Amino acid sequence: MISRRKMLKMLATMPLIGGLAGSQLIRKPSGARLERPSYSRDFFTELGLRPFINARGTITRLSGSLMHPEVIEALNYASQQFVNLDDLQDMVGERIAEMLNCEAAMVTAGAASGMTLGTAAAITGKNPEMIRNLPNLEGRQREVIIQRTHRFSYDHAVRNTGIKLVEVDGPHELHRAVNQRTVMMLFYNAASEHSVSKEEFVKIGKHHNIPTFNDAAADVPPVENLFKYIEMGFDLVTFSGGKAIRGPQSAGLLFGRKDLIEAAKLNHNPNADTIGRGMKVNKEEILAMMVALEHYLARDHEADWKRWEEWVERINRSVRNVPSVETEEYVPPVANHVPHLRIRWDEERVKITPEEAREKLRFGHPSIETFGGRNSLDISVFMLQPEEVGIVGRRVKEVLEEAV
Ligand SMILES: *Cc1c(COP(=O)(O)O)cnc(C)c1O
């Protein structure tokens, strides 16, 4: 077996051979890469890496999303001059809070960092000694309440403040779990099951005067979600900057109650003796995050949606005539909430498993990342560039037809 690493290296340096050389696939599509300037060095190729077409969606391991030129301009702008980092964070925070209609906001090193900083804020407030000592505080064990169905891998970003997660089912248990040790209530927006609704969760938080935190990291579109949870009464909300908003991948938004945002900032870089010091956000990312949000809010979201639907339809048309192929267009209810295509076939007639088809697409030219389980090949058009839609349609069709 060759390792995945080796395989990737081989493919990256392999000259394009045989049928592929004549295929449309490697021809630079006309009008392609308009948004991508040309560079004097091809760094990824130098490193033996293969960039790919992302038909998977905004996935951190696949490097999230691509930034729009306006955002890159902000990055470049900030990289060429010095500025006081606290002042920049404050001013950008004010602008973001205005844009999001809330009391206060800050740029974090992603939503996971927003979760740690928000929790830290709920624990320490502005107490300098507590900020210095976190996560090893004197006295009682602090607790954060979470619904049992909301436990998820990202709650590590809350646990790392030293708190204990207390799991509850339903409003009654939630009420009863609140005590002297409770510092926060954590809500996982994209959870598939809620034993306490958002509205009730917020109400119970307010009743006991415990801050409520909603992790909605991946939950735009719809764009309204950026406003909805604060309006509902959550005290803190976090979103990833580098998913649909298409800011820097290592940036995010934390916003909500002013006193909590101020406390979160005290727990953050550039303050050295803090839990957040390792979650540094540089001036480039802070500024670019603001610009990405401006750009995202100003978009024509209906037009975006229509375009995604058209793209799904184009890929659908391209593949659905392969014998036995059945397709379905769908929209995940929350997170990556955009049109997708699911492709299924009879493996007696198209003799390839979805897993094998995904591998073929991944190791083909160009490399295409797709997803799906054992029974389907799924395509997300969320992160496709316009010129890639046709390529994805043709490649999927080719891979399936070759197996007939
Ligand atoms: C992606 C994600 C995170 C982490 O976001 P980053 O911006 O990558 O730190 C946290 N929670 C959920 C639900 C997510 O989807």
Same domain assignment for residues 278 and 320 = no
Nearest atom within ligand 1 for CA of residue 157: 10
State in Å: Cα 218 to ligand 1 middle.
6
Nearest atom within ligand 1 for CA of residue 252: 7
Does the pTM of the predicted model rise above 0.75? yes
State in Å: Cα 241 to ligand 1 middle.
9
Q: Is the residue at 136 inside a domain?
A: yes
Long-range pairs for 34-40: beta carbons < 8 A, 24 or more residues apart: 35/68, 35/69, 35/385
Q: Number of structural domains, the chain?
A: 2
- Out of 153, 159, 219, 240, mutate this one to test ligand 1's pocket (max ligand atoms within 8 Å of CB): namely 240
- Out of 215, 281, 334, 336, mutate this one to test ligand 1's pocket (max ligand atoms within 8 Å of CB): namely 215
State in Å: Cα 122 to ligand 1 middle.
20
Give the integer Cα–Cα distance in Å for 235 and 229.
Answer: 9
Instruction: Name the residue at shortest CA distance from atom 12 of ligand 1.
Output: 217
Q: Is the residue at 326 inside a domain?
A: yes
Give the integer Cα–Cα distance in Å for 269 and 310.
Answer: 44
Nearest atom within ligand 1 for CA of residue 112: 9
Residues with CB under 6 A from ligand 1: 60, 110-112, 154, 190, 215, 217-218, 240, 242, 252, 335
State in Å: Cα 243 to ligand 1 middle.
9
Same domain assignment for residues 270 and 319 = no
Same domain assignment for residues 171 and 121 = yes
- Out of 58, 59, 60, 187, mutate this one to test ligand 1's pocket (max ligand atoms within 8 Å of CB): namely 60
Same domain assignment for residues 275 and 306 = no
- What pLDDT score does 5 carry? 55
Give the integer Cα–Cα distance in Å for 347 and 359.
Answer: 16
Same domain assignment for residues 51 and 185 = no
- What pLDDT score does 38 carry? 82
State in Å: Cα 4 to ligand 1 middle.
26
Q: Is the residue at 223 inside a domain?
A: yes
CATH number of residue 282's parent domain: 3.40.640.10
**Closest C-alpha among 222, 176, 219, 217 to residue 196:** 176
Its domain, for residue 196, covers: 83-298
- What pLDDT score does 335 carry? 85
CATH number of residue 386's parent domain: 3.90.1150.180
Give the integer Cα–Cα distance in Å for 333 and 338.
Answer: 9
Structure tokens at 121: 């804020």
The last residue of a domain, from among 298, 333, 356: 298
- What pLDDT score does 18 carry? 35
Determine the Cα angle at 252 with ends 115 and 297, to 5°.
130
The last residue of a domain, from among 279, 298, 317: 298
Neighbours of 165 (CB within 10 A): 14
Instruction: Name the residue at shortest CA distance from atom 2 of ligand 1.
Output: 217
Q: Is the residue at 75 inside a domain?
A: no
Same domain assignment for residues 124 and 47 = no
State in Å: Cα 74 to ligand 1 middle.
23
The last residue of a domain, from among 298, 324, 346: 298
Nearest atom within ligand 1 for CA of residue 251: 7
**Which residue's entry shows tokens 């799904």?**
312
Q: Is the residue at 335 inside a domain?
A: yes
- What pLDDT score does 36 carry? 66
Q: Each residue's pLDDT tens digit in the chain (404 positions)?
A: 445 555 555 544 444 433 333 333 333 433 334 456 788 999 999 999 999 999 999 999 999 999 999 999 999 999 999 999 999 999 999 999 999 999 999 999 999 999 999 999 999 999 999 999 999 999 999 999 999 999 999 999 999 999 999 999 999 999 999 999 999 999 999 999 999 999 999 999 999 999 999 999 999 999 999 999 999 999 999 999 999 999 999 999 999 999 999 999 999 999 999 999 999 999 999 999 999 999 999 999 999 999 999 999 999 999 999 999 999 999 999 888 999 999 999 999 999 999 999 999 999 999 999 999 999 999 999 999 999 999 999 999 999 999 99
Instruction: Name the residue at shortest CA distance from atom 11 of ligand 1.
Output: 217
Same domain assignment for residues 312 and 166 = no
Q: H-helix or E-strand containing 266?
A: helix 258-266
Residues forming a β-bridge with 236: 213, 256
